[in-house]
Chain A
Amino acid sequence: MEKEKVESKEGIEEIRIGVYVCHCGLNIAGSVDCEEVAKFAATLPHVVLAQDNRYSCSDQGQELIKKDIKEHKLNRVVVASCSPRLHEPTFRKACEDAGLNKYLFEMANIREQCSWVHLYDRKAATEKAKDLVKMAVAKTALLQPAEENEVPIIRKALVIGGGVAGIQAALDLADTGYKVYLVEKEPSIGGRMAQIDKTFPTMDCSICILAPKMSDVGHHPSIELLANSEVVDVKGYIGNFHVKVLKKPRYVTKDCSACGECVKVCPVIAPNEFDAGLAIRHAIYTPFAQAVPSTYIIDMNMCLNKDGVMVCDKCIKACDREAINFEMKPETIEFDVGTLIVATGADIFDPSALPNYGYGKYPNVITSLEFERLINAGGPSGGHLIRPSDMQIPNRVAFVQCVGSRSDKSGKLYCSNVCCMNTIKDSLLIKEHWPETEIYVFYVDIRAYGKGFEDLYKRARKEGVVFIRGLPAEIIEDKKTRNLWLIGENTLQKELYKMNVDMAILSVGLEPRKDSEIMQRLLTLSRTQDGFFMEAHPKLRPVDAATGGIFFAGCAEAPKDIKDSVTQASAAAARAGILMAKGKVTVEAVTPISYPENCKACGLCTKVCPYNAITLNKELKRIEIVEAACGGCGTCAAECPFGALTQNHFTDEQIIAQIDAVTEYDADKKIVAFCCNWCAYAGADFAGVSRMQYPPNVRIIRTMCSGRVAPGFIERAFARGAAAVLVAGCHPGDCHYINANYHTQKRVERFWKKMEQQGLNKERLQLLWASAAEGERFASKIREMQEIVEKIASEEIETGKKVFEKIEGGS
């Protein structure tokens, strides 16, 4: 075995790699012959030690690695086990404990991307695992130690959204002692919880328990409340976000004593959004009595003075405190924060999308939100549940569940989580006020999973609420009485029903905010297929965003009830607090390395950098890199035509070594796949977690961003005779590096053109956008590519080899 030597600071050093092949119980060993893989690993260059063990991540497993590093003088370690997205930090820590720089560690993903996706083909899975280990070893031999930069964290936080989650997060952080900016786009904080009458399962008055918290926010010395405001720009990175907030004018100053005299004289009226349109408000108004800030506001879309001509001054005349000021202008407020909590909440499903229920056409079909306002003593009917058609109290009421939820035909696929219990609570509220009312709940499944929920469900049944399984297919109105006929099938008794009721309440689901995209773009977040924001890890980092320093609370992440929102908000505050208490964070050393001697000062890298972390010094004819601002996508390195830039830990040599390892044998049957860490690689992991089976001839090379994939890598793969190449990244707009994947698209399109010009089959290069939740999308792409690979003639591969060898040699 040849023993190459590399130069390091300490001088010439012999590379000594230790390889550990993990069984992961039977998770890997069930379909991969780990012993054989370890034996194979021992034959690879620079490997001085290779063994298989049951659980590498266990304490014993880690201790073994530490012991071997010392005893066998290992200076590089490879663990072939699960996804690096799961245990890379664990093993890096073990290496560091043994005095080995953590950047000298590499993982081969033989679980999520091998054993779990090739469950029934032990031979192929074992061969693939060998290849994956070979790739990891090839890269590892070229790894270099790196030091991580420390970035200070500003001890201030921004909370976006002033619903109960945002309120809780802001209070927790402020009570810990941090300065908090709370931005709310509505005139008052409070969110959905302020609109609700009672909460389940304890039947507390919602606003009664919320109002004190709202008031605390308003008075807290460490909280700066920016209501009627929107975040318009966020720049920066973990610990150092620069935020711009647009504070829209209220046209009423803080001198307002909320006496309400102005409202009496205002001649313009409109439906009040807070009361779901069931009550009116004036152009000058406060959304509800407990609003914080209590300062009134003028709705300039409605005010007679909207065109800039002072037509009406009635409110000005009525205001003793001279608090009305039509001269107010929108203000942009700028500040810096270290952490950010997204608590933007959810929208409510609009049931007019389901014409069979007649919402928007029949006055006595209402939504559960409208119900809350009707049953609320402070609402438009003074707490009387009345039929909008004739203001009479109904005798027979129906609740229809899952409106907009759990349906592949209409609305959303997911369960909205809160509607079952909300309906049970609502039915009990009706029984409390009008015990004689007949109540029918039409449902698919009743989900009473939480603490105290089952008791409430039982209570409702005991009180005589009738639960009928099977949603109505249609609601028809009796034109004379305005009563409603609900027609459907009782699926438990297998019989049709036709039920006459006075009023029907549609239990509407929750959906992602319509403007989620704006927040997603501002903060470079990703979203699940449902459209809600995606957490960094569904189990172990459930409140962290994938972007450092950003956390989620409340329905922005998924539909949840008040208790869960508050729990998550406190968790998010604690997570943000950990960062701020520490006051500094280390940034992964995946920043660019430059070779000034090759640099032609063309400035291409500065144009593609999503973070503006590279600037061109025209005088000195060189580039300058701000490492702290660098996000670590590596798209600059992919763009540089002169080899003057590469990325730490993902160098050209390392990636090419991986490509070469894949293509050493049977290249003409293999697919070389470049997957970005955040979406495509995570999607491939998800395919594994879900045990989706796909052909075993794909070899995944992980890069932080698909923007790292230089055309040279694709050329190399084809020059070495690879059958096909896949470049996979986040969906456009979902890129974790703002927009780096747009450059991926451009490069791949250019490459396709090149292939066409050379007479090559451009199907051999595929581009895929797959999110971390789209395992099936990834798996089916590999299946599709397998068909392409099978059709490719050996002449085609030979031509490709010649074409790209020439180009490679030429450049």
Chain B
Amino acid sequence: MPVRLWRTPLDAEKVKLPKAEIHIFKDQCKGCGFCIQFCPKKVLEESEEINAGGVHPPKIIDESKCVICSFCTSVCPDFAIFVVEKPCKKGC
């Protein structure tokens, strides 16, 4: 049905997707970049900083875009990243 979709859906705010909390162990990272490459939402990028291993660990661009698929955790060879659901505070 080629109707042009331009509006924000009326129920967009009602649909609550879980909010992510991303944890990165920077010093454990050896800079392979898998998490950055494979993140389907492109939440991560390489940071400027240099960690204990002498590489650039990833940094978070926009945590709200993360959908907690946890693929970064699966592909990280150094167990350096994991994601949990943000504990629900008031109003969510």
Which residues from chain A sit less than 8 Å from chain B, CB to CB?
Answer: 186, 267-269, 271-280, 304-307, 309, 311-312, 314, 347-348, 350, 352, 360, 363, 369, 380-381, 386, 388, 391, 514
> How far does the alpha carbon of A451 sit from the alpha carbon of B15 in the complex, in Å?
44
Given contacts A269-B17, A304-B67, contact A386 B10 (CB under 8 A): yes
Stretch from B1-9, B25-33, B45-53, B55-63 forming part of the interface with A: B1-9
Q: Which residues of B contact A309 (CB under 8 A)?
A: 38, 71
Is the pair A347, B40 in contact by a Cβ cutoff of 8 Å?
no
The 6 closest A-B pairs by CB, nearest first: A267-B67, A277-B5, A304-B40, A312-B69, A311-B71, A280-B9
CB-based A-B contact count at 8 angstroms: 75
A-B contact pairs, 15 of them (CB 8 A): A267-B17, A267-B68, A278-B9, A278-B10, A304-B41, A304-B67, A307-B40, A311-B38, A311-B40, A312-B69, A314-B69, A352-B6, A380-B11, A386-B10, A388-B10
> How far does the alpha carbon of A348 sit from the alpha carbon of B3 in the complex, in Å?
7
Within 8 A of A (CB), among B60-84: 67-69, 71
Is the pair A381, B10 in contact by a Cβ cutoff of 8 Å?
yes
> How far does the alpha carbon of A248 sit from the alpha carbon of B42 in the complex, in Å?
28
Is the pair A279, B10 in contact by a Cβ cutoff of 8 Å?
yes
Q: Which residues of A contact B17 (CB under 8 A)?
A: 267, 269
Is the pair B2, A347 in contact by a Cβ cutoff of 8 Å?
yes
Number of interface residues of B (CB under 8 A): 21
Q: Does B12 contact A (CB under 8 A)?
A: yes
Is the pair A271, B40 in contact by a Cβ cutoff of 8 Å?
no
Given contacts A269-B17, A304-B40, A312-B71, contact A360 B9 (CB under 8 A): no
Residue from the set B9, B40, B68 with the largest chain A CB neighbour count within 10 Å: B9
> How far does the alpha carbon of A83 sit from the alpha carbon of B9 in the complex, in Å?
57
Which residues from chain B sit less than 8 Å from chain A, CB to CB?
Answer: 1-7, 9-12, 15, 17-18, 38, 40-41, 67-69, 71
* Residues of A contacting B: mostly: loop
Is the pair A277, B11 in contact by a Cβ cutoff of 8 Å?
no
> How far does the alpha carbon of A380 sit from the alpha carbon of B12 in the complex, in Å?
10
Is the pair A360, B6 in contact by a Cβ cutoff of 8 Å?
yes
Q: Which residues of A contact B1 (CB under 8 A)?
A: 186, 273-274
Residue of B nearest to A366 (CB): B7
Is the pair A280, B15 in contact by a Cβ cutoff of 8 Å?
yes
Q: Which residues of A contact B9 (CB under 8 A)?
A: 271-272, 275, 277-280, 380
> How far does the alpha carbon of A352 sit from the alpha carbon of B15 in the complex, in Å?
28
Least CB distance, B48 to chain A, in whole angstroms:
27
Q: Which residues of B contact A514 (CB under 8 A)?
A: 2
Q: Which residues of A contact B10 (CB under 8 A)?
A: 278-279, 380-381, 386, 388, 391
Least CB distance, A20 to chain B, in whole angstroms:
54
Residue of A nearest to B72 (CB): A311
Q: Which residues of B contact A305 (CB under 8 A)?
A: 40
> How far does the alpha carbon of A273 sit from the alpha carbon of B3 in the complex, in Å?
7
Residue of B nearest to A380 (CB): B10
> How far does the alpha carbon of A273 sit from the alpha carbon of B10 in the complex, in Å?
13
Q: Which residues of A contact B6 (CB under 8 A)?
A: 277, 352, 360
Q: Which residues of A contact B11 (CB under 8 A)?
A: 279-280, 380
> How far does the alpha carbon of A514 sit from the alpha carbon of B1 in the complex, in Å?
11
Q: Which residues of A contact B12 (CB under 8 A)?
A: 269, 280
Residue from the set B1, B2, B11, B15 with the largest chain A CB neighbour count within 10 Å: B1
Q: Which residues of A contact B3 (CB under 8 A)?
A: 273, 276-277, 348, 350, 369
Q: Which residues of B contact A369 (CB under 8 A)?
A: 3
Of the candidates B5, B15, B69, the one whose C-beta lies within 8 Å of that of A311 is B69
Q: Which residues of A contact B41 (CB under 8 A)?
A: 304
Q: Which residues of A contact B2 (CB under 8 A)?
A: 347, 514
Is the pair B5, A304 in contact by a Cβ cutoff of 8 Å?
no
Least CB distance, A229 to chain B, in whole angstroms:
16
Is the pair B7, A268 in contact by a Cβ cutoff of 8 Å?
no
Is the pair B69, A271 in contact by a Cβ cutoff of 8 Å?
no
Of the candidates A268, A279, A307, the one whose C-beta lies within 8 Å of that of B67 is A268
> How far does the alpha carbon of A347 sit from the alpha carbon of B5 in the complex, in Å?
14
> How far does the alpha carbon of A268 sit from the alpha carbon of B65 in the complex, in Å?
10
Residue of A nearest to B5 (CB): A277
> How far does the alpha carbon of A391 sit from the alpha carbon of B8 in the complex, in Å?
13
Q: Which residues of B contact A312 (CB under 8 A)?
A: 40, 67, 69, 71
Q: Which residues of B contact A380 (CB under 8 A)?
A: 9-11
